[in-house]
Structure 1
Amino acid sequence: MRAIPDELDPAVVAEIDGRLARLQTDLGVTIPWAIESGSRAWGFPSPDSDYDCRFLYLRRPDDYLSLWPGRDVIETPLDKVFDVNGWDLAKTVRLAVNGNATVGEWLRSPIVYSGDEGFRDRLLAFVASVADRGRIGRHYLHVAARQYEREITLKRFFYVLRTAASLRWLLDHPESAMPPMDLPTLLAESTVSDALRQATADLIAVKARTRELGSGTPPELLVRFVADELERARPFDDLPPENTSGDARERADAYFIGELDRLR
């Protein structure tokens, strides 16, 4: 599976492809899923946005039997253009069980460098089976809190806005714990006003043609939306667990062992 928009720089994409191929050869890992995260996948890139490639990998099955396992992340050199790193599937599964919403987002990124659809579908089904609305909601609340600990520039406001939109989506979809990844889809699938969608689209258009947004003031309509949604989402902190930890861990073990068996 591959989904690369025309606006991505072909030379950069080729370098990312090369890095992924070299990692598999040099480290003896399998990379069944590699996507773009960050502002490009979230729906609000700037002309100078870097490339945030994220991937999931598996080591050789016997490597997981070692008493001294290696690191559960792989990182490549970071610069102004490339931010390419990945998580071991074991780490990914543990994070999903613990309520990390990033795993579900990566599996539905609109930009895919390379991907095994069967792997994606199996992992997505597992994540959905253990996803807990309380934990996912708290994840987004804490992301917003971390952003507010820093100076909120106009550029960083987009991160808080996407978080608020994710929380609104959760409240509008009580049957699900897995919001979409990109901001326009979050708003399109939520009960927000057309005026708010338009204000967001206008701000995205400004960001798309401006190399540095600076510290300007976001539209008041969007500022109020963020404040209101973060306040409305406070009850997520008190939601009781939907899945017992023992049940979720049993599902995690069964899923992970099944994926290792596919490599043998």
Structure 2
Amino acid sequence: MQDTLAIAPDVRADIEARLASAASEDGVRLLMAVESGSRAWGFPSPDSDYDVRTLYVRPRRDYLALKPVRDVVERPIVDDIDLNGCDIRKALGLMLKHNAVLSEWLESPIRYIVDDPVVEQLADLASRHFSPRGYALHYASLGRSSVDRWLGPNGEIAVKRYFYALRPALSVRALRLDPSRRPPMSMVPLMQAADLDGVLVDQVDELIAQKAKTNEAGNTIRLPDIERLVIGELERAGEVPERTDKANFADEAEALFLELVEKE
């Protein structure tokens, strides 16, 4: 199978230049910059966007200002590059709400800059305090929304629609099997964590190969085994246990934030 995670050198250079420009223009320091969409998930199409997501910190004075500064950095999509960023304070607030999106950014296999040391601390904090049930319900909601949009007007189904439901379903399954670990972001390690049998692995591999050859709107045949897996796992999200030990999560997040900002 081809390397679906590879980023062409010229595209990477363009993204790195845009990141440096955005950081300078908005007066922020980037802590990490990763790919967050289908390229990082391991099933891109030839015309897939580059979904670049950043985590950043502002100078200390900005957090003390009377007028709140924006907690996002956004740029228009140009040449299929979609660049957006999130302030560390907002990111920590989302983490405290057990938001699985930040977890995925932390796990992304495609990095555009060298991670700041605080990123490792964030990943450790998330791993020790995330709510398996909260993540499972998040993924189940995403999956059900995608299932509702599976079929096109003529009864066809786009390859990407399968994936947008399959990845959340596998995340629920991985959490059921091992609620102590945040689900992997990319499809191959996620299939391993979900302990799929060989037949299903072969079908998913074939879907990945199909998507790599067609555009985002490309269709495929119906796959009953995949559909049963998806619908069955999404219905079992409630079986994933809650994390019972929530002590010190907010205190640790607050301490990490203050330590980082005091250095700026």
How many residues are treated as equivalent by the alignment? 256
Equivalent residue number for residue 214 of structure 2: 210
Equivalent residue number for residue 256 of structure 1: 257
**C-alpha distance in 1 between matches for 2:65 and 2:144:** 38
Q: How does 1:213-224 map to 2 (within 5 A)?
A: 213-224=217-228
**C-alpha distance in 2 between matches for 1:168 and 1:117:** 32
- Cα distance, 1:123 vs. partner? 1.0
**C-alpha distance in 2 between matches for 1:44 and 1:163:** 14
- Cα distance, 1:212 vs. partner? 4.3
Equivalent residue number for residue 63 of structure 2: 64
- Cα distance, 1:6 vs. partner? 8.0
Give runs of ≥4 in structure 1 deviating > 4 Å: none
Query: Which of 191, 195, 202 is residue 198 of structure 1 equivalent to?
Result: 202
Equivalent residue number for residue 163 of structure 2: 158
Encode CA deviations 1:128-174: one digit per residue, 9 max, x unaligned.
Answer: 23211111111111212332343553322211100001111111113
TM-score normalised by L of structure 2:
0.89
- Equivalent pair of 2:36/2:53 in contact (CA under 8 Å): yes
Q: SS of the residue aligned with 1:35?
A: strand
- Equivalent pair of 2:48/2:216 in contact (CA under 8 Å): no
**C-alpha distance in 2 between matches for 1:167 and 1:173:** 10
Corresponding letter in the other structure for 1:121: E
Corresponding letter in the other structure for 1:76: R
**C-alpha distance in 1 between matches for 2:48 and 2:204:** 18
Corresponding letter in the other structure for 1:205: A
- Equivalent pair of 1:126/1:255 in contact (CA under 8 Å): no
Encode CA deviations 1:173-220: one digit per residue, 9 max, x unaligned.
Answer: 1322x1110111111222221111111001100111112443444421
**C-alpha distance in 1 between matches for 2:72 and 2:31:** 15
Q: Which runs of 5+ in 2 are unaligned?
A: 152-157
- Cα distance, 1:16 vs. partner? 1.0
**C-alpha distance in 2 between matches for 1:240 and 1:220:** 31
Q: SS of the residue aligned with 1:113?
A: coil
**C-alpha distance in 1 between matches for 2:133 and 2:5:** 38
Query: Which of 237, 241, 244 is residue 242 of structure 1 equivalent to?
Result: 244
Corresponding letter in the other structure for 1:179: P
Moved more, 10-19 or 42-51: 10-19
- Cα distance, 1:79 vs. partner? 3.9
Q: SS of the residue aligned with 1:180?
A: coil
Moved more, 105-114 or 121-130: 121-130
Identify if the C-alpha distance between structure 1 residues 146 and 67 changes in structure 2 by more than 3 Å, giving closer, same or farther. farther
Q: How does 1:94-105 map to 2 (within 5 A)?
A: 94-105=93-104
- Cα distance, 1:247 vs. partner? 3.4
Q: How does 1:28-67 map to 2 (within 5 A)?
A: 28-67=27-66
- Cα distance, 1:241 vs. partner? 5.5
Q: How does 1:79-118 map to 2 (within 5 A)?
A: 79=78, 81-116=80-115, 118=117
- Cα distance, 1:240 vs. partner? 4.8
Corresponding letter in the other structure for 1:173: D
What percent identity do the matched residue pairs reach?
Answer: 37
**C-alpha distance in 2 between matches for 1:128 and 1:19:** 31
Query: Which of 187, 194, 202 is residue 191 of structure 2 equivalent to?
Result: 187
**C-alpha distance in 1 between matches for 2:210 and 2:219:** 13
Q: CA RMSD in A?
A: 2.1
Moved more, 46-55 or 72-81: 72-81
Is the counterpart of residue 175 in structure 1 residue 177 in structure 2?
Answer: no
Identify if the C-alpha distance between structure 1 residues 99 and 77 changes in structure 2 by more than 3 Å, giving closer, same or farther. same
